[in-house]
Amino acid sequence: MAKPLKVDGVWLDRIAELLDELEFGSLNIVVHEGQIVQVERTERKRYELNGTASGRKGGPSRQDLKPRRKAEI
């Protein structure tokens, strides 16, 4: 049988602070025997190719990232 979750103000403040700083990503809360014991944050950073948008969502295409041959330069 699961124990009731115990959450105090300290954990609520920690979680709120981590969420406030997060733009893209996830927050995983680890509970052991009814108590929060760990918070894991996975953050994603989004960058534009050469400082310009590629014009579509999902980032640059394989063609954009492919190294150019000397003849193409």
Q: Give 15-63 pLDDT, tens digit per residue.
A: 999 999 898 999 999 999 889 999 999 998 888 887 655 455 555 565 5
Whole-model pTM: value is: 0.55
Residue 54 Ramachandran class (φ > 0 left, ψ -120 to 50 alpha, else beta):
alpha
pLDDT (tens digit per residue) in 9-20: 999 999 999 999
